[in-house]
Chains A and B, each alone.
Chain A
Amino acid sequence: MSGGNRRRIASALMRHAARIMPAARAGWSAAMESELGLIEDDNVALRWALGCVIAGYREWVSDMVLLRTWYARSALACLIALLALREFFAPLLIFAYRMQYMGLAHFLGLRTAGDDYRRFIPIMDATPSWLVVLWVASGLLYLVALWQMLRRSGASHVPFFLGFGLEFAGMLAIQSLETSTGVTVGPIPLIRAAGYFLTFSVGFVLWRATRKNIGAAS
């Protein structure tokens, strides 16, 4: 490859690095680019530009993980909202069944495996009120975490992990009910474990974002 080609590739790489670099870091990509213009050796210039692309991607990923971009925050917000909805689903179904709102119970039943709420009747009858309160509390804590994350107003991982703890306790309780009633409401253990891993990962991201943002502000 000729020196001219290497220099052109280096310039193209540097433009790419500037494009992917978060807007808040634009000054840094300009700094890297100004150095490139002063490197005389084409091989060194190419390596420099490659490194700048890596630096650009590192900052881009860092912005994503620390929830500084609107799309990362939106994706996480949707995920937390889904977690909260999942916690409200069983209480709502039990409420509809016990209050004889059959239309609502049928509607919710269509969203379960088996498409019919009636197969859950034994376990709904056996579910104690405190377990319903536990699920609702877990869902509310997820919503508090969501609110705090969107407003960047505090340590959103705290309510999130509290909600996660309640959800986990609820899972242990429902497992004993599943055994006693013979009705299975949750997915197979592997899928359940994957779900909890995902939920824990969301909490970890929230914790890391809070920690980094507080660290940057102090």
Chain B
Amino acid sequence: MARTPNRSSQTNRFLAAMLEDPLAWRYGYELLKKTGLQSGTLYPLLMRLSDQGLLEAQWREPEKAGKPPRHVYRLTPTGLVLARAQALPIAKPGIVNKWAGAKV
């Protein structure tokens, strides 16, 4: 029995942000700024999508020495299909989290 895809506004916002550049790997903090979601909403969403096979995640070595490795995320082909079906009609590019203005 397949799980019904989540249709919450947060999921739609996330999928819309991922569709801006579907093949790019994204950092967690970068996604937070793009979607305007807070980490307490964003990470459970990432976990759930990853559990459903809609999102792939991997560790990436830091660009600067002395910094920790980072987790990056990208939609899987199944996730892209869902995103295109669900998020495109309401995509709102350019959403910026007003409190997350610091440089990463």
Q: Are B29 and A50 in contact, CB atoms less than 8 angstroms apart?
A: no
Count of residues in B whose CB is under 8 Å from the partner chain: 30
Q: Are A51 and B38 in contact, CB atoms less than 8 angstroms apart?
A: yes
Contact code string B1-33 (vs A, CB < 8 Å = 1, else 0): 111000000000000000000000001110010
Within A100-127, which residues are at the interface with B (CB < 8 Å)?
none
A38 (CB) vs chain B CBs: closest residue: B104
User: Within 8 Å of chain B (Cβ to Cβ): is A39?
Assistant: yes
A48 (CB) vs chain B CBs: closest residue: B39
Q: Are B1 and A215 in contact, CB atoms less than 8 angstroms apart?
A: yes
Q: List, in ascending order, chain A residues with CB within 8 A of B28's CB.
A: 31-32, 35
Give the complex CA separation of A216 and B52 in angstroms: 6
Give the complex CA separation of A33 and B3 in angstroms: 30
User: Within 8 Å of chain B (Cβ to Cβ): is A8?
Assistant: no
Q: Are A35 and B44 in contact, CB atoms less than 8 angstroms apart?
A: no
Most buried by A among B28, B39, B44, B99: B39
Q: List, in ascending order, chain A residues with CB within 8 A of B3's CB.
A: 212, 215-216, 218
Within B49-104, which residues are at the interface with A (CB < 8 Å)?
51-52, 57, 67-71, 99-104
Q: Are A54 and B40 in contact, CB atoms less than 8 angstroms apart?
A: yes
User: Within 8 Å of chain B (Cβ to Cβ): is A169?
Assistant: no
Q: Are A35 and B70 in contact, CB atoms less than 8 angstroms apart?
A: yes
User: Within 8 Å of chain B (Cβ to Cβ): is A189?
Assistant: no
Q: Are A52 and B47 in contact, CB atoms less than 8 angstroms apart?
A: no
Q: Which residues of B are at the interface with A, using a C-beta cutoff of 8 A?
A: 1-3, 27-29, 32, 38-44, 46-47, 51-52, 57, 67-71, 99-104
Beyond the given A44-B102, A52-B40, could you list 5 further A-B residue pairs with CB under 8 A, ordered by the A residue number? Answer: A25-B47, A34-B71, A35-B29, A48-B32, A55-B44
19 contacts between A and B (CB under 8 A): A25-B47, A30-B71, A31-B71, A35-B29, A35-B70, A38-B104, A39-B104, A41-B102, A47-B100, A48-B29, A51-B41, A51-B43, A54-B38, A55-B40, A55-B41, A55-B42, A212-B3, A215-B3, A218-B2
